[in-house]
Copies of this chain bind each other. A is one copy, B any other.
Amino acid sequence: MRLQVPGYELLSQAGTLSYSFSGTGVNVASALARFGHTGYLVSTLPANAVGDAAAAYLRKLGIAQAFINRGGQYVGLYFLENGFGARPSRVTYSNRQESSFNTAPENSYDFADIANNIDVVHFCGITLAMNDSVRRHMKSFAQAVKAKGGTVVFDCNYRPFHWGEGSYAKAKPFYEEMLQLADIVMMNEKDALFVLGMESTKETRQEQLMELIPAVAQKYNISVIAGTHRSINSDNTHALQGYIYKDADFTFSRTLTFSVYDRIGAGDAYTSGIMHGVLEQYSATRTVEFASTAAMLAHTIVGDTPMSSENEILKAMTESLGDVER
Contacts and interface: CB of A to CB of B under 8 A. Distances in A.
Interface of A: 3, 6-20, 48-50, 52-53, 55-57, 59-62, 73-74, 77-79, 81, 83-95, 97-98, 159, 161, 230, 232-237, 256-261, 263-264, 296-297, 299-303, 307-308, 316, 320-326
A230 B324 CA distance: 12
A111 B16 CA distance: 36
B49 A79 contact: yes
A86 B321 contact: yes
B258 A85 contact: yes
A15 to B, nearest CB: 6
Report copies per complex.
6
A126 to B, nearest CB: 10
A62 B59 contact: yes
A72 to B, nearest CB: 9
A172 to B, nearest CB: 22
A20 B9 CA distance: 13
A259 B230 contact: no
Contacts of A161: 326
Pairs A-B, 8 closest by C-beta atoms: A85-B259, A91-B326, A88-B322, A60-B60, A87-B300, A11-B53, A12-B53, A12-B56
Nearest to A160: B326
Given A301-B87, A326-B159, A49 B12 contact: yes
Contacts of A50: 11, 79, 92, 94
Given A6-B16, A59-B59, 18 more contacts: A10-B301, A11-B50, A11-B53, A12-B55, A14-B15, A16-B17, A49-B79, A59-B60, A74-B93, A77-B94, A85-B258, A85-B259, A86-B256, A87-B297, A87-B300, A90-B325, A97-B98, A98-B98
Contacts of A322: 83, 88, 232
A77 B95 CA distance: 12
B325 A91 contact: yes
A92 B19 CA distance: 16
Contacts of A55: 12
